[in-house]
């Protein structure tokens, strides 16, 4: 919370480092099971990254991946899949199919699709 406040104070509300701080705080909340607090922060980080960096920036894909992971943790599989597909598309085009970030998102998507109940939605 302090890092986010300091980033905003020093850099202003519209800076990529603010989006990074939002993602970090959301990740902490997610790891604590505080999903309802994490989600709006992930959404803010995604919106800010899109606004500042454009829809095709790898940082946008990172935000999509993080939000997808949260949704997956909550059993919101359809929403998670859509976000992972968007992130994968960006990363494949911008970083290439073999980049570690691309591979990681592809693995997240594969894990989602391979879960035992995936055919029951």
Question: What's the whole-number mean pLDDT along residues 15-24?
Answer: 95
The answer to whether the beta carbons of residues 63 and 82 sit under 8 Å apart is: no
Provide the pLDDT for residue 62. 96
Note the pTM of the prediction, 2 decimals: 0.91
Per the structure, the count of domains in the chain is 1
Domain span including residue 20: 2-120
- Confidence band for 111, pLDDT divided at 50, 70 and 90: very high
The answer to whether the beta carbons of residues 80 and 109 sit under 8 Å apart is: no
User: How far is 62 from 46, CA to CA, in rounded Å?
Assistant: 9
Write the pLDDT tens digit of every residue in 42-99.
999 999 999 999 999 999 999 999 999 999 999 999 999 999 999 999 999 999 999 9
Q: Which of 33, 31, 3 is nearest to 18 (CA)?
A: 3
CATH for 105: 1.25.40.10
Positive or negative CA dihedral for 99, 100, 103, 109? negative
The answer to whether the beta carbons of residues 102 and 95 sit under 8 Å apart is: yes
pLDDT at residue 118 above 90?
A: no
């Amino acid at each position: 919370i302090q890092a986010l406040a300091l980033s905003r104070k020093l850099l202003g509300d519209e800076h990529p480092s603010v989006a990074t701080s939002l993602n970090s705080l959301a990740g902490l909340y997610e790891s604590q099971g505080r999903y309802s607090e994490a989600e709006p922060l992930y959404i803010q980080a995604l919106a800010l990254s899109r606004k500042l960096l454009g829809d095709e920036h790898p940082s946008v894909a990172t935000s999509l991946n993080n939000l997808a992971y949260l949704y997956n943790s909550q059993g919101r599989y359809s929403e998670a899949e859509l976000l992972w597909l968007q992130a994968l598309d960006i990363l494949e085009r911008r970083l290439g199919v073999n980049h570690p970030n691309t591979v990681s998102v592809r693995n997240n998507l594969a894990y989602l699709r391979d879960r035992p109940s995936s055919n029951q939605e």
